[in-house]
Chain A
C-alpha cells in the first residue's frame, strides 16, 4: 500500500516536470521565432508563467507538507502577481505604437 502511494506521487512529479519542460522550451522557441515585439510578449508572459507554476507544483508534491513547501507557495504567489506587472510595463515602453503592423479594426473605419 505504501509503495502504491509512493509510485502515484512519483507519477505526478514526473507529469508536472514534463509539462514544465514543454512550456519553458516553447518560451525559448517562441522568443526566437516570433516576428515582432508584441507577439514575443505573449510568449514571455503566458508560457513562462505556466512553466514556472508547473515546476513549482512538482517541487511541492515531491516535498510533501512542510515549511519548505509553504515557502514555495509564497514564491509562486509572488511571481504570479509580479510577472504581469513587468510585462505590462514593457508593453507600454514605446509611447506611440509604431511597432504594430497596421490592420484596421471596425472602429477605425467609423472615424
Chain B
C-alpha cells in the first residue's frame, strides 16, 4: 500500500511538471492516469530498485543519498578538469593501463549503478564486468607506477563502500 501511494505521488508530480500549469482539468486527468499507473506497475517499479533493509530507516538513508549526489557532481567536475588539461597540452601524453577490481556486490542492479559511478570518477572508465569472478575491468588514463595504482584503487573502494550502504 505504501509503495502504491509513493508511486502515485511521484507520477502526479511528474505530470504537473510536464503539463506546465496548474488547473482543475489538469489535476483530474493526472489523477486518473497516475492511479492507473500506480495500480498496475507499482510492484514492477520497486522490484528494480532494491534498497538495503527495505524502506525501514528511510530518513537516515536520505543523508547517505545526499552525500552520494554531492560526491557525484564533485567528481564529474574534477575529472573533467583533468581530461581537458590533457586535451590542451602540446603533446598529449598518456600511460593507459587495464586494472581489475573485485567487488562484494551480488545484485545486478547495484552492479550497474556502480559501473556508471566508475565512469565518472577521476580518469577511470568501466569497460566490462566479469560475472564468474565478480570483477570489474577498468581502463585508467594515467597510471605511471604500481604505487599510484594502489592509491587509485583505494579511491574507488571509497565510492564502493558509499554505495554499498544504500543499495543491497
A and B touch in the complex (CB under 8 A): yes
Choose among A41, A42, A74, A91 the residue that contacts B17 (Cβ–Cβ < 8 A).
Answer: A74
For window 32-59 of B, CB contacts with A under 8 Å fall at none
Chain B CB within 10 Å, residue with most, of A35, A47, A97:
A47
Considering only CB atoms and an 8 Å cut-off, how many residues of chain B contact the other chain?
Answer: 37
Residue among B84, B86, B116 making CB contact with A88, cutoff 8 Å: B116
Closest to B139 in A: A38
Number of interface residues of A (CB under 8 A): 39
Which of A53, A80, A101 is within 8 Å of B96, CB to CB?
A101
Q: Is the CB of A2 closer than 8 A to any CB of chain B?
A: no
A5 at the binding interface (Cβ < 8 Å): no
* Contact of B17 with A67 in the complex, beta carbons under 8 Å: yes
- Tally A-B pairs: CB < 8 A: 102
- Which residues from chain B sit less than 8 Å from chain A, CB to CB? 14, 17-18, 20-21, 72-73, 76-77, 79-80, 83-84, 86-88, 92, 94-100, 115-116, 119-120, 123, 125-128, 139, 141, 146, 149
Determine the distance from Cα of A26 to Cα of B119 in the docked complex, in whole angstroms: 18
Give the residues in chain A near B98, CB-CB below 8 Å. Answer: 97, 100, 105
Select B84's contact among A39, A47, A85, A106, beta carbons within 8 Å.
A47
Q: How many Å lie between the Cα of A106 and that of B150 in the bound state?
A: 11
User: 5 additional contacts, CB 8 Å, given A71-B17, A81-B116, A88-B126?
Assistant: A38-B139, A43-B83, A74-B14, A103-B97, A105-B97
Give Cα A41 to B141, complex, Å. Answer: 11
Q: Is the CB of B84 within 8 A of A22?
A: yes
